[in-house]
């Protein structure tokens, strides 16, 4: 049996665009979307930081090693670079790229940790209301109490 409009038994049909806007503003969907977009951008920046800024000096210190070109050739043919092996379609284990990815992950995890540590700093607890001690039961009660909530004795 169809319900009469305005009967209060269920939601009336409204404008879908208005409903969507209400959903975005009342839920955390918008904040989640912004977080995902910013997270993707931060991931790209961190990847560039690792591959373009951090790894070249580390590779230089370790004897001119290019981490992005470190690989283990699984075929019988020898390849001098990872690009040659990829062009030939040879199977490889790219452990240099894996090292770069681990460093990316550690830096991103550190950034997320620091952001949440700063943003989620707990607020100081509100001050406790003034209290006094009940002369009958020695329990702590509100200073403005007219009667002890523990023993029921009247308070002056």
Render pLDDT for 39-59 as a digit per residue (tens, 0 to 9): 888 888 888 888 888 888 888
pLDDT confidence of residue 63: 85
pLDDT digits (tens, 9 = 90+) for 64-76: 888 888 899 999 9
Q: What burial class does residue 109 get, using C-beta atoms within 10 Å of its C-beta: 0-12 exposed, 13-18 middle, 19+ buried?
A: exposed
pLDDT confidence of residue 45: 87
**For residue 77, which of 66, 67, 91, 65 has the smallest C-alpha distance?**
91
74, 90 Cβ separation under 8 angstroms: yes
pLDDT confidence of residue 23: 79
Low-confidence ranges of the chain (pLDDT < 70): 1-13
Question: What are 93's strand-pairing partners?
Answer: 72
Exposure string of 22-46, with b = 16+ CB inside 10 Å and e = fewer, is eeeeeeeeeeeeeeeeeeeeeeeeb
């Amino acid at each position: 049996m169809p319900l009469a409009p305005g009967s209060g038994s269920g939601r009336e049909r409204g404008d879908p665009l208005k409903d969507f806007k209400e959903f975005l503003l009342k839920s955390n969907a918008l904040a989640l979307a912004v977080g995902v977009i910013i997270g993707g951008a931060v991931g790209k920046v961190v990847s560039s930081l690792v591959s373009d800024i951090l790894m070249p000096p580390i590779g230089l210190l370790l004897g001119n090693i290019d981490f992005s070109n470190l690989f283990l050739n699984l075929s019988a043919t020898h390849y001098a670079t990872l690009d040659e092996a990829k062009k030939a379609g040879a199977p490889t284990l790219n452990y240099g790229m894996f090292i770069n990815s681990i460093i990316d992950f550690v830096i991103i995890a550190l950034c997320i940790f620091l952001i949440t540590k700063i943003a989620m700093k707990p607020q100081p607890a509100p001050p406790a209301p003034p209290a006094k001690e009940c002369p009958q039961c020695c329990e702590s009660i509100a200073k403005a109490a007219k009667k002890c909530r523990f023993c029921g004795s009247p308070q002056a």
